[in-house]
Structure 1
Amino acid sequence: MLKRLVITGYKPHELGIFDDKHEGVRFIKKALENRLRALVDEGLEWIILSGQLGVETWAAEVAIELQEEFPQLHFAILTPFEDQEKKWNEAKQEKYEFLLSQADFHRSLTNKPYEAPWQFIEKNKFFLRNSDGILLIYDEETEGSPKFIKQEAERYAENHEYDILLISADDLRVVAEEEQQNEWNGW
């Protein structure tokens, strides 16, 4: 049973999304919501995020919305290093600060600013050791930053009971079609 789930995926620019008004954000959040509702019904208690822009911040927003209905659902933001938002624009920093304020738990895993890629590697190892599974928004045909943690999760799952769940481009297409159909039926 999944009690602690890591959620990650693409950064916005990897999806061609440059602001949260992009229609794709709505479909990604709906796909996350659908999957999380089912997992909460099966006993999910914690969502673990590193707070990266994109899928992870959208997942945090979905978690906040779901907490109204499922108060037993919690989320943690565990960053790979301190001040990861330091170079983000002001609007993204404000959104990030809001998400941190809503998180049930947050801290930096290395307690120092960015030094080198080892901090991301250590974050991934920590996430795998401290969760029961991972949910990735990832498509095999469109590699990007999530491929690294996916590969690590697959290696980890060879020797541990560990669930790897995917939301693919096809899954997102289905959600988009369903959402558009619901809108047309509402006319």
Structure 2
Amino acid sequence: MTAREYLEILHVAERLKDTPRHCTTTNRRTESVAEHSWRISLMAFLLRHEFKDLDIDKVVDMCLIHDLGECFTGDIPTFIKTDADREVEDSLLDQWVKSLPKELSDDIAVLYKEMDAQETKEAKLYKSLDKLEALIQHNESPIDTWSENEYELNKTYAFDTVSFSEWLTDLRKAILDDTLEKIETEGQKA
């Protein structure tokens, strides 16, 4: 890869810094997709000793690249994203990945294939962290920033995704405890 090719990849990825997500931070600032990707990467890194049998470096790689398609489409919340939206995002991402230097393109394509198949524990961990981070962020954001459907989603979302791991299931239950406490203490809809 040449220095110019490297810079071009970084320029595309930089778009995620300016791509807003539907969540806000504790201080009511709309978070970016890049911030979400950074935090799930950190979450994976921090689990290095909890999941000793997994290739955590691979999980971190998955977390870092998982939303690169949103460089081209923006963030569409999972609860309103359609199959057509996914097809457009996947197509644009695939075109871009194929345009990268071959070795890098091949590495990224292999990761995306594994992530999409959701057969390995690494892929399942990445997907779990992606979903759990959104729940954690909602619990950290002011409750008046939640959309109507998020009251129920925060209670039910991702339990099926984490079911392969007792540790992640315990984490999901702790997040639910935080959700229920937030709803109760902020006096909003239950």
Shared fold by TM > 0.5?
A: no
Q: Shorter-normalised TM-score: what interval?
A: 0.3 to 0.5
Q: Which has the higher helix share?
A: 2
Q: Which has the higher contact order (CA 8 A, sep 6+)?
A: 1
TM normalised by structure 1 equals 0.32
Q: Which has the higher strand share?
A: 1
TM normalised by structure 2 equals 0.32
